Structure 1
Amino acid sequence: MEEKINIKPIVFVLFMTIFIIGADTFIISPLVPTISKYFSVNASEAGLLVTAYSIGYAIFAFIFGPISDKIGRRFLLIVGLICFSVFAILCGFVNNFKVLFLLRILSGASASAALAVSQLLGVPIGAFIAGAGGWRSSFFALGITLAIIYFPKIGTKAINGNAMSSQLLTSLKSVLLNKHALSGLFVTLFLMFGSFGMYSFLGVWLSNSFRLTVNAIGSVIIFVGVGNLIGNLAGGFLADTFGKKRVAIVGMLSLSILLILLPYTNHNFILAMGCILLWFISAGISLSSLNSLIVGLVPSLRGTMMSLNSSFMYIGTTIGVAFNGIILNDFGFHSVGLSSEISVIISLILVSILVSLKKDKAATAD
């Protein structure tokens, strides 16, 4: 007689994992004004903490994705999250910006996943904690919570696997030499350059435009989470009704318009909140359709494709934050909106090319 498995603790642990990792991914934006003042750096330099996290994630996703296809994900998940917990806690102790930058890279390397729903509560809670106990307390809260969840599971039996460096390279090569897959990955890269490259400095813009405190910015970011949640939920329904490609294209077109409009709402708080909400509804709709479309481009290597897609997501974020940080200092937030819009339009063009490539392939098959 088979032993019944209680799935509730598993679901809880997975949910909390997504919640905490996702909160860490998005939490820097409302903290940028506070961190920049504490370390006496400008906003673009403080924004590099997002870049640091993205670099770590992007590099190691190339490695962990193919490995997970061969040995399974549980062992890598547990080890990665334990390391993430340690690095997050260490972030709360540092007094040197360069050390904090390094720890953010290591946190990104340890992170296994991040989902949009975590923004809904994770970021505001993190911002409120920062407002009450300083920016360090946000990292303490993230690291300690994850440690409580995962440290009791250190003894979990690992899934055995053989050395597979050649198989890893073969998996990567199979995906990266596939023109459909590569086009899809660059769609993600440019989309994240635009959307997340601008989001990372949203806290600075809100602080400068409306004189909001870190607590208030955390409350505003709820609109980001609500918008993304609505977009993700609606995206699936709309994709089933109208098709993934069509929904992705319309969502990205809306996103490009909203990104360039937002900086011009700096004198009307209600209009700004509406624009932010619509921004992330559009982003959620686009990403939910695109992720499903892109991951399915190489069905035999879904794990590799998922990780590469995440990697390109963070590469786009890294480049976007670095570039937008430079032009923010020199030209202001309006230039960030223009840069982000152009990037999303490039992504939109690539989606159209991807659709054409798939149509040509289908016609050839017929």
Structure 2
Amino acid sequence: MKKIFLLFFFIMFVIGTDSFILSPLLPLLQKQFHVDTGISGWMVSSYAVGYALFALIAGPLSDLLNRKKVMLWGMLAFSVSTMLCGTVHSFWNMNVFRFAAGVSAAFVTPQVWASIPILVPKEKILRGMGIATAGLSISQMLGLPIGSYLASIHWSVPFFCIGSVSIILSIIIFLLFPDIVPNRQTTQSFTLLKQYSRLLNRNMSRLAFLGYFIFQLGNFGAFSFLGTWLSDQHHLTISQIGNVMLFLGLGNTVGSLGGSTIVHYLGKKRTMYIGICLSILLYIALPYVPSTAYIKADLMAIFIIWGTLFPLMMSLLQTLSDTSRGTIAALANALMYSGTTFGAALAGILYTNMNSFISISLFASICFFVFICLFATSGIMRSYKITR
């Protein structure tokens, strides 16, 4: 079981690093490809668009196919498309290969979230979700700063490194990951529309997924322009921005690894309510903090909260169906990357027109408030019993 946990951790670490690598590199690539701030966010969004569109197909298909094969071929395609990003010479070519990387990742990460409840004993599911989330968290703590430092050599170096590590992970998946084949009854009754209809036929599911989308809209809208804001307003270099990102990852790691203890102590509803309220206050305060040290502290506190809440959200969503776990994971990830797409685009408009991060922080805060209202109304937190 420990080997599986480690595999999930490193898969999420590599894909997480690739997903977020554009945030600290955005000012550099903006100059490299001679594009303005308003459209530079599409280098973030193109990856998200590819993921969001194909996850809607990959999830239900993975409930029909052997999860090992889906994960293996997805990881191989991800490694190739990511390395190709390091070879481009134009803004639009970068968008094409980022789109391809997003499509590939859409076939990989849903298998992680869907496999945890299948391979892990019930009492360790929340822990497994936390370990997978820690891979994303540490990708911010170590992957992003390392990526920033590598980019100081040349902007293409991070993409070649991520692609190379992904090939190694593909080999490990082939050797280590067990076959997970759906039962025959599931495959016989499968249709794409039926999978989604079965999942979304309850008001609880619809409200929960809508709330999750709005949460990610605010979350990634703000995150996508952190690097640009730090460069423009605080005049930080790319290496200094990487140092700030280190504290994001550190906070997320602390939250993801220790969050289950907090949830068991406070309870799921209280953890969710307190975490969202604190996040709103911290985001509203962020544009007004007086120095880089305070920015690091504010962002670290926000991401400790996110590291605690994200495994809880994924665990809650996985309770919506026992037979469509891949569909749930893929839909959640599709909504996350849809939130990234529209969040980055909206944040770019706000930042360009108002020339201020204040408008983005207020936008994120409103999204978080709407999220908790929808999640509470759905009743999903009453349907879930957290086990150790």
* TM-score (norm: length of structure 2): 0.84
**Corresponding letter in the other structure for 2:287:** P
Which position in structure 2 is the counterpart of 1:79? Answer: 73
- How far does residue 169 in structure 1 lie from its aligned partner after superposition? 2.2
Are positions 1:275 and 2:298 aligned together?
yes
**Corresponding letter in the other structure for 2:194:** T
**Corresponding letter in the other structure for 1:143:** G
Q: How many residues align?
A: 352
SS in structure 1 of the partner of residue 89 of structure 2:
coil
**Corresponding letter in the other structure for 1:124:** P
| Gap change, CA 1:159 and 1:41, over 3 Å in 2 | same
Paired with 1:48 and 1:165, the residues of 2 have a C-alpha distance of 39
Which position in structure 1 is the counterpart of 2:120? Answer: none
Gap regions ≥5 residues in structure 1: 1-6
| Greater relative contact order, per chain length (Cα 8 Å cut-off, separation 6+) | 2
**Corresponding letter in the other structure for 1:75:** K
Which position in structure 2 is the counterpart of 1:323? Answer: 346
- How far does residue 10 in structure 1 lie from its aligned partner after superposition? 5.8
Are positions 1:170 and 2:190 aligned together?
no
Question: What do residues 44-63 of structure 1 show as CA deviations (whole Å, max 9, x unaligned)?
Answer: 32221221111111111111
Are positions 1:258 and 2:282 aligned together?
yes
Structure 1 range deviating more: 291-300 or 30-39: 291-300
Equivalent of 1:233 in 257, 264, 267: 257
SS in structure 2 of the partner of residue 236 of structure 1:
helix
Paired with 1:340 and 1:137, the residues of 2 have a C-alpha distance of 32
Q: Is the 8 A contact 1:247 1:289 kept in 2?
A: no
SS in structure 1 of the partner of residue 45 of structure 2:
helix
Equivalent of 1:291 in 314, 318, 322: 314
- How far does residue 82 in structure 1 lie from its aligned partner after superposition? 0.7
Paired with 1:50 and 1:17, the residues of 2 have a C-alpha distance of 20
Q: Is the 8 A contact 2:268 2:381 kept in 1?
A: no
Which position in structure 2 is the counterpart of 1:119? Answer: 140
Structure 1 range deviating more: 95-104 or 106-115: 106-115
- How far does residue 310 in structure 1 lie from its aligned partner after superposition? 1.3
RMSD: 2.6
Structure 1 range deviating more: 97-106 or 62-71: 62-71
Q: Is the 8 A contact 1:253 1:348 kept in 2?
A: no
Gap regions ≥5 residues in structure 2: 110-134
Paired with 1:157 and 1:79, the residues of 2 have a C-alpha distance of 15
Paired with 2:40 and 2:246, the residues of 1 have a C-alpha distance of 22
Are positions 1:223 and 2:247 aligned together?
yes
**Corresponding letter in the other structure for 1:211:** H
Q: Is the 8 A contact 1:244 1:293 kept in 2?
A: no
Question: What do residues 171-226 of structure 1 show as CA deviations (whole Å, max 9, x unaligned)?
Answer: 11111222111211112111111112101111111112322211121121111111
Question: What do residues 218-259 of structure 1 show as CA deviations (whole Å, max 9, x unaligned)?
Answer: 121111111111122232112222221221121111112212
The alignment-based identity, stated in percent, is: 34
Structure 1's consecutive aligned runs of 4 or more residues displaced over 6 angstroms after TM superposition are 152-165
Paired with 1:297 and 1:157, the residues of 2 have a C-alpha distance of 25
Which position in structure 2 is the counterpart of 1:138? Answer: 158
Which position in structure 2 is the counterpart of 1:96? Answer: 90
Paired with 2:288 and 2:96, the residues of 1 have a C-alpha distance of 35
| Gap change, CA 1:12 and 1:350, over 3 Å in 2 | closer
**Corresponding letter in the other structure for 1:273:** K
